[in-house]
Amino acid sequence: MSEQAILRMEGIHKSFGATHALRGVDLSVIRGKVNAVVGSNGAGKSTLMKTLAGIYQPDEGHVYFEEEDITGLSPMQLQRMGIQVVHQVLNIVGSMTVLENILLANPPVSGGVLRWKQGAKTVREVLRRIDFPLELDLPVRSLSVSEQQFVILARALIHRPRLLVLDEPTARLGMEETQKLFGLIRRLKEQGTTLIYISHRLDEIYAISDRICVFRDGLHVISRDTEAFSEAELVQAMLGKKMDTFFPKADAPVGETLLSIEGLTLRGRLRGIDLTVRSGEIVSLVGAVGAGKTEILDCLFGSRKADGGTVRLRGTPVRGGYGIGRAIRNGFAMVPEDRALQGMLGDWSVKENLTSVEMKKASRGPVLNRGVENREAEKLVTLLDVRPHDIDYRMTGLSGGNQQKVVIGKWLTRDYPLYLMDEVTAGVDIQAKAAIYELMGRVVKRGGAVLLATGDIEEALGVSDRIMVLYKGRIVFEASPDSVTKARLLGYIMGGGASA
Ligand SMILES: Nc1ncnc2c1ncn2[C@@H]1O[C@H](COP(=O)(O)OP(=O)(O)OP(=O)(O)O)[C@@H](O)[C@H]1O
Ligand SMILES: [Mg+2]
């Protein structure tokens, strides 16, 4: 083995039924570096990391860590050797506290006794080290998704791993948290930790990695130093073909006001939001996590009741706190932030998920209209390029990005006037992102509108007609993408414009 490699995988195969997810992966991971792993949704990235973590056993092939054959070891044994994997799907128990979630995976036992106090001390130290102070006795359920991500990160770090895998850690983080995470990654690297970093955001890959390993269709196709890999070459390696347009832009005429919000308040969260969205517009809400993006959407969608203010849809006031069914009748479609919790029926098939909103309508009486259901689902699976192309596949068997496509797809069975989208492209590959932007384009072209909350500043600049910056529950800045720089936006996002 080359001295540089801390980990080497050889000829790894893994199948799930008829799906051949890994088809003979050879991969070397370089010691002390940030090794980025990229590839389209379903390329096999997470499956490989679960194999590395001992959750899956490879059907064929071997894994070597520090020259030692570690194939077939259990998750516990691998953790003891210094391998920690932060998985794409967060493995947490909502009803348990921060402390319990961090410690119970690997309880602090010495001399047969549970050293809870000592454990708590270690956890506090780690949270301080990652600059993310959290109350240890809060139930994890009450935390935001980004806070939950840091809880899981802390759990991996108390073991001081030699190899740390982060599988799409920023899909749940805002810009500020992402910067925090990057600071942490750099510090870990200085201390000699080796990292594997998975993401679909190319700007992140270029900002943080030393080396990029590209996966396609269950194979590792090429690895190269980041500085020697141009973006065009990288995209071509990932897709097996060129891609020119990342942000297909729809030019739609701006018409009547579809949504108007006046003085929307939510105790401690929103402090008087005024906002209008007109037909033909894509309006982006950007801001740090906690700035109020999700809260605005929640109030609009009815999952939270505002304390004050009015919301009008085409001039008619709608009331908050009325539940999802009413919101749909009012003409809102919403793609929520945390698909695993809110948007997805994991044990159901792709078809059932796609048609869960609308199918009651297509059915006459109690019997579902199978023909309509199948046709609709087929159409959407093709449109969104869900892989595998199988409407009967169970949702839990899909890769993270393909799940996201289905969650979005279920709102496309009907033309809603207004789409509220929360971090809709998080975890989605570049090709599917472009497909989703095209769908937004179709919405505005037929006179609808999109209100998009996003932590991805490139996306906000690339797709929207107007960008609104939220800071601590207020809109502090509004701009059109062609009249503002990324740096200026960041200034408002981080500091509310105090220094801008
Ligand atoms: N438990 C499972 N049951 C059935 N199929 C599975 C299972 N886990 C993964 N697969 C399939 O294996 C393939 C690879 O999935 P994987 O999750 O590794 O992709 P990925 O590269 O991580 O994608 P993403 O970027 O969307 O997270 C996909 O076709 C997926 O549907
Ligand atoms: Mg994955």
List C-alpha distances in Å: 487 to 121, 325, 469, 500: 39, 40, 13, 10
Of all residues in the chain, the percent with pLDDT exceeding 90 is 52
Q: Is 127 helix (H, G, I), strand (E, B) or coil?
A: helix
- Classify the phi-psi angles of 483: left when phi > 0, otherwise alpha if psi is within -120 to 50, otherwise beta: alpha
φ, ψ for residue 72, nearest 5 deg: 90, 0
Query: Which has more pLDDT, 133 or 26?
Result: 26
Point out which residues pair with 39 in neighbouring strands. Answer: 215
Point out which residues pair with 373 in neighbouring strands. Answer: none
List, for residues 386-396, the tens digit of each pLDDT value. Answer: 888 999 999 98
Strand 449-453 with 418-422, pairing = parallel
Burial (Cβ within 10 Å: 0-12, 13-18, ≥19) of residue 312: middle
Q: Is 1 helix (H, G, I), strand (E, B) or coil?
A: coil
Determine the pLDDT at residue 30: 98
Alpha carbon distance 283, 257 (integer Å): 13
Counting ligand 1 atoms within 8 A of each CB, the residue from 46, 201, 402 with the most, and so the one to mutate, is: 46
For ligand 1, what atom is nearest to the CA of residue 402?
Answer: 26
List, for residues 61-113, the tens digit of each pLDDT value. Answer: 999 999 999 999 999 999 999 999 999 877 888 889 999 999 887 777 777 77
On whether the CB atoms of residues 302 and 327 are closer than 8 A, the answer is: yes
Nearest CA to ligand 1 atom 4: 397
Point out which residues pair with 310 in neighbouring strands. Answer: 262
Point out which residues pair with 30 in neighbouring strands. Answer: 5
Mean pLDDT across 345-359: 80
Alpha carbon distance 146, 399 (integer Å): 21
List, for residues 156-215, the tens digit of each pLDDT value. Answer: 999 899 999 999 998 878 778 888 899 999 999 999 999 999 999 999 999 999 999 999
On whether the CB atoms of residues 51 and 22 are closer than 8 A, the answer is: yes
Alpha carbon distance 77, 68 (integer Å): 13
- Strand boundaries in 226-365, DSSP class E: 257-266, 270-278, 282-286, 308-313, 316-318, 332-335
Nearest to 101 by CA among 184, 47, 158, 172: 158
Determine the pLDDT at residue 500: 43
Alpha carbon distance 440, 290 (integer Å): 25
User: Which residues have C-beta within 8 Å of that of residue 382, sequence separation ≥ 6?
Assistant: 389
Nearest CA to ligand 1 atom 25: 41
**Peptide bond just before 317 cis, omega within 30 deg:** no
Quote the ligand 2 centre to 402 CA distance (angstroms). Answer: 9
Quote the ligand 2 centre to 270 CA distance (angstroms). Answer: 34
- In angstroms, the first-to-last Cα distance of the chain is 52
On whether the CB atoms of residues 208 and 34 are closer than 8 A, the answer is: yes
Quote the ligand 1 centre to 332 CA distance (angstroms). Answer: 31
Determine the pLDDT at residue 347: 85
Q: Is 88 in the pocket of ligand 1 (CB under 6 A)?
A: yes
Q: Is 346 in the pocket of ligand 1 (CB under 6 A)?
A: no
Counting ligand 1 atoms within 8 A of each CB, the residue from 13, 14, 19, 25 with the most, and so the one to mutate, is: 19
User: Which residues have C-beta within 8 Å of that of residue 252, sequence separation ≥ 6?
Assistant: 280, 281, 441, 444, 445, 447
Query: Which has more pLDDT, 493 or 56?
Result: 56
Nearest ligand atom owner, CA of 50:
1
On whether the CB atoms of residues 137 and 96 are closer than 8 A, the answer is: no
Looking at residue 169, the DSSP 8-state letter turns out to be G
List C-alpha distances in Å: 315 to 244, 312, 374, 421, 443: 40, 5, 37, 21, 20
The pTM is what? 0.86
What the chain holds in terms of domains, given with CATH numbers, is 5-239 (3.40.50.300), 257-495 (3.40.50.300)
Tokens read off for 36 = 């980025």
List, for residues 300-326, the tens digit of each pLDDT value. Answer: 877 778 899 998 888 888 765 555 666
With the CA atoms of 316, 412, 478 and 301 taken in that order, what torsion angle do they form, in degrees rounded to the nearest 10? 50
Mean pLDDT across 472-477: 94
Place of tokens 């050293």: 115
Mean pLDDT across 363-369: 53
Determine the pLDDT at residue 362: 45
Q: Is 417 in the pocket of ligand 1 (CB under 6 A)?
A: no
Tokens read off for 341 = 């919790």
